[in-house]
Amino acid sequence: METAGLPPLEPLFRHSAKRTRDIFASCPDVGLGDEEKSARIRLSVKINDEYHYAKELPSALLAQQGLVGPAAPKAQAQRKMITGGPVDSDTSRMIANIDKTPNPQVSTFQSSNKLSQALALHKTTRTVKPTYHPPWKLVRVISGHLGWVRSVAVEPGNQWFVTGAGDRVIKVWDLASGELKLSLTGHISTVRGLAVSSRHPYLFSCGEDKMVKCWDLEANKVIRHYHGHLSGVYALSLHPTLDVLVTSGRDASARVWDMRTKAQIHVLSGHTATVADVKCQESDPQVITGSMDSTVRLWDLAAGKTMVTLTHHKKSVRSLAIHPTEYSFASGSAGGNNIKKWKCPEGNFVFNFSGHNAIINTLSVNSEGVFFSGGDNGSLSFWDYNTGMPFQNMDDVPQPGSLEAEAGVFCSTFDITGTRLITGGADKTIKVYAEQSQ
> Over the stretch 178-221, which tens digit does the pLDDT of each residue have?
999 999 999 999 999 999 999 999 999 999 999 999 999 999 99
In a domain? residue 369: yes
> Over the stretch 344-355, which tens digit does the pLDDT of each residue have?
999 999 999 998
Q: What global pTM score does this model have?
A: 0.71
Collect contacts of 165-170 with beta carbons under 8 A, ≥24 apart: 165/190, 165/191, 165/424, 165/428, 166/190, 168/207, 169/145, 170/194, 170/203, 170/205, 170/215
Q: 3-state secondary structure string, 283-352? A: CCCCEEEEECCCCEEEEECCCCEEEEEECCCCCCCCEEEECCCCCEEEEECCCCCCEEEEECCCCEEEEE
In a domain? residue 413: yes
In a domain? residue 191: yes
Please compute the mean of the pLDDT values over residues 22-46 and round it to a whole number: 72
**Choice among 45-49, 69-73, 354-358 with the minimum mean pLDDT:** 69-73
Q: Residue 419: its pLDDT value, please?
A: 92
Q: Residue 420: its pLDDT value, please?
A: 94
In a domain? residue 108: no
Q: Where residue 147 sits, what CATH number does that domain have?
A: 2.130.10.10
Total of domains in the chain: 1
Q: Which range of residues forms the domain containing residue 332? A: 136-435
Residue 96 above 70 pLDDT? Answer: no
Chain-centre distance of CA 121, in angstroms? 27
Q: Residue 29: its pLDDT value, please?
A: 59
Sign of the dihedral defined by the CA atoms of residues 234, 247, 373, 425, in that order: negative
In a domain? residue 276: yes
> Please, what is the average pLDDT of the chain?
85
In a domain? residue 90: no
Give dist(CA 306, CA 308) in Å, integer.
6
In a domain? residue 63: no
In a domain? residue 89: no
SS3 50: helix
Amino acid at 405: A
